[in-house]
Amino acid sequence: MGMNKTLALVSGANRGIGLAIATGLARRGVHVLLGCRDLGRGEAASAPLRAEGLQVWPVQLDTTDDGSVTALAARITQDFGYLDILVNNAGIGLDYAPMLSPVQRMEQTLAVNVVGTLRLTEAMVPLLVESKQPRIVNVSSELASFKLHSDPSWAYADIKLPTYQASKAAVNSLTVSYADSLKEKGIKVNAICPGYTATEATNFSGSRTPAQAAVVAIHYALLDDGGPTGAFANEEGELPW
């Protein structure tokens, strides 16, 4: 594949918001690597998209596993030699997991949402450096906003998900740090909030569809050179930290 083809990797992409992001990017002409822990599920998710003529291919990816991440980086290096877009979408929420203690919830959530994001980003930066327009999009949540939580009139003021919120606040912090450290390499790094979305993760209780949720992620993945870096935003604009 030549450098004229935009290449994206989306983690946690065989269902829900991740699949919607991958689909939206592919429909804009992007070649998408569909990161998924189970290749069988990834193949099932991507086959209908390829039947549409879209370039979507499943790749094995467990962001909590050094071996998995290292192997994928090596494969992308061998097959392409570059990466244009990284969407850190893989994430979990365990605040309502009754069989886990608070410490276990936090440890397992941070392992995926924060350490996994860090692990995958570190592995892909050498490939992103080879891109002419490299972008990193971290899927966060407005539930991580300290300012919004201090407003009793905020629509989600009564929602208490301390473990999930803490993990996404850490993702926001990583976003700011990476935006600064990678600026000289030309890599734009932003955090987005997809909104309260009807997926398996929310027991399909959200008010938005995955396709709606994906819009803001796709926008930041395809930012032109005049776009921001180090931002935290939803589709309506920037969010307070």
CA 196-201-202 angle, 5° bins: 45
Catalytic annotation present for 178: no
- Show Cβ contacts of residue 127 under 8 Å, excluding neighbours closer than 6 positions: 73, 76, 77, 80, 81, 82, 83
CA distances from 152 to 149, 159, 162, 169 (A): 7, 11, 17, 19
Whole-angstrom distance, CA of residue 178 vs CA of residue 180 = 5
- Name the active-site residue from 82, 96, 164, 220: 164
SS3 call for 238: strand
CA 91-212-45 angle, 5° bins: 60
Active site residues: 164
